[in-house]
């Protein structure tokens, strides 16, 4: 199977499976799982935060962050395209009584600081209380400039707001910029990271932040049914994701560049290669191509794509350069 739909399809390596089988575990709701405790302590320090909490998913990590920062009747400012606005079932509003205030993202994925300032509500009982700015990096495969992050930090300080990063793919951003993860993390009060995407762990995300907020998050995680017992099984794989698979993201990015160039050689398919910054390729498919029929034909050859006129293809641990060559030749023959 060559699966371009997402980097979430990566399967745990043999080393992860072995670590899972050997993991020392306990009941984490009692705080007794040594593998969970070790991962949370080590990763908090590694990312430059006071504390960390292991979560079942990125959606849960983001929701815990929003619920730790905001009370009922508060609001957070975020991008119109933000995952934690658009793709998480409205969790903040549904479960947290927190109002999202989405603002159109700029082309580069940033949110204009002037527009953010205009969206901050005055201290008046007509309005929700603006508490938090939440951004995403990478966003649709794009990397936010470090200078923007510094400017945004100064902005939230000036307006006495807090700042959350949905860093589901923040390691892709650090890899693309060739900086240590702390160069990005330092600007944020809280940060979520997905371990189960490009980093290849089977399950889990981490939420980082100051101790008081992580204590609140832990309480909300229990309320949401996310108090997991022998979760050391998962954290054993997560540690390997963070220690061994970060380096490999470089290869995913190189493969995405290669894929973009190969696709661009095909008539009716257009990729703006300069916009391919990490492991995502967006290909514009000409109307003359029935991409849904193409997807079915490829599926018969064990190649999976998500057909769309503006089609996203994602490279990851389980896709090699040879797999891309196989895909391209299959695609060319299907189109012929
Ligand atoms: C995938 C993703 C999430 C959610 O992670 P899940 O583990 O799928 O719940 C959050 N934010 C962004 C930007 C993502 O890409």
- Domain boundaries defined on the chain: 12-244, 248-335
- CATH architecture under which domain 248-335 falls: Alpha-Beta Complex (3.90)
pLDDT of residue 236: 98
Residue 279 CB coordination number (10 Å): 29
Ligand 1 close to Cβ of residue 83 (< 6 A) = yes
| CA of residue 194 to ligand 1 center, whole Å | 7
Q: What is the full DSSP assignment across 156-192?
A: HHHHT-EEEEEETTHHHHHHHHT--HHHHHTT-SEEE
pLDDT of residue 135: 98
| CA of residue 276 to ligand 1 center, whole Å | 20
In this prediction, residues 255-274 reach a mean pLDDT of 97
pLDDT of residue 91: 96
Domain 12-244 matches domain 248-335 at the CATH topology level: no
Within 8 A by CB and 6+ apart from 73, the residues are 97, 99, 128, 129
Instruction: Give the pLDDT band (50/70/90) at residue 64.
Output: very high
Which atom of ligand 1 lies closest to the CA of 58?
A: 5
In this prediction, residues 62-71 reach a mean pLDDT of 98
* Span 157-170, pLDDT tens digits: 999 999 999 999 99
Ligand 1 close to Cβ of residue 205 (< 6 A) = yes
Direct distance between the N- and C-terminal alpha carbons of the chain, in angstroms, rounded to an integer: 22
Report domain 12-244's class.
alpha beta
pLDDT of residue 9: 98
Q: How far apart are CA 161 and CA 158, in angstroms?
A: 8
In this prediction, residues 79-85 reach a mean pLDDT of 96
């Amino acid at each position: 199977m060559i699966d371009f739909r997402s980097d979430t399809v990566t399967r745990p390596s043999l080393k992860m499976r072995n670590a899972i089988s050997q993991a020392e575990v306990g009941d984490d709701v009692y705080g007794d799982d040594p593998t969970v405790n070790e991962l949370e302590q080590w990763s908090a320090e590694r990312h430059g935060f006071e504390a960390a909490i292991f979560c079942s998913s990125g959606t849960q990590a983001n929701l815990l962050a929003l619920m730790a920062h905001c009370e009922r009747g508060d609001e957070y400012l975020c991008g119109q395209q933000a995952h934690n606005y658009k793709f998480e079932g409205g969790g903040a509003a549904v479960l947290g009584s927190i109002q999202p205030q989405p603002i159109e993202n700029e082309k580069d994925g940033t949110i204009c600081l002037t527009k953010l300032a205009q969206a901050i509500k005055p201290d008046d009982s007509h309005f929700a209380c603006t508490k938090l700015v939440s951004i995403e990096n990478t966003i649709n495969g794009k990397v936010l400039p470090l200078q923007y992050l510094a400017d945004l930090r100064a902005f939230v300080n000036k307006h006495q707001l807090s700042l959350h990063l949905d860093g589901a793919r923040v390691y892709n951003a650090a890899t693309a910029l060739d900086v240590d993860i702390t160069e990005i993390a330092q600007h944020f009060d809280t940060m979520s990271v997905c371990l189960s995407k490009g980093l290849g762990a089977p399950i889990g995300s981490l939420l980082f932040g100051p101790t008081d907020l992580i204590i609140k998050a832990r309480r909300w995680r229990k309320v949401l049914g996310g108090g997991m017992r022998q979760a050391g099984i998962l954290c054993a794989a997560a540690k390997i994701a963070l220690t061994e698979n970060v380096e490999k993201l470089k290869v995913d990015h190189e493969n995405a560049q290669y894929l973009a160039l190969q696709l661009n050689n095909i008539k009716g398919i257009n990729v703006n290669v300069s916009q391919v910054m990490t492991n995502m390729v967006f290909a514009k498919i000409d109307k003359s191509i029935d991409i849904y029929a193409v997807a079915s034909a490829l599926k018969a050859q064990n190649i999976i794509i998500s057909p769309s006129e503006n089609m996203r293809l994602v490279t990851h641990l389980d896709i090699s350069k040879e797999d891309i060559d196989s895909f391209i030749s299959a695609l060319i023959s299907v189109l012929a």
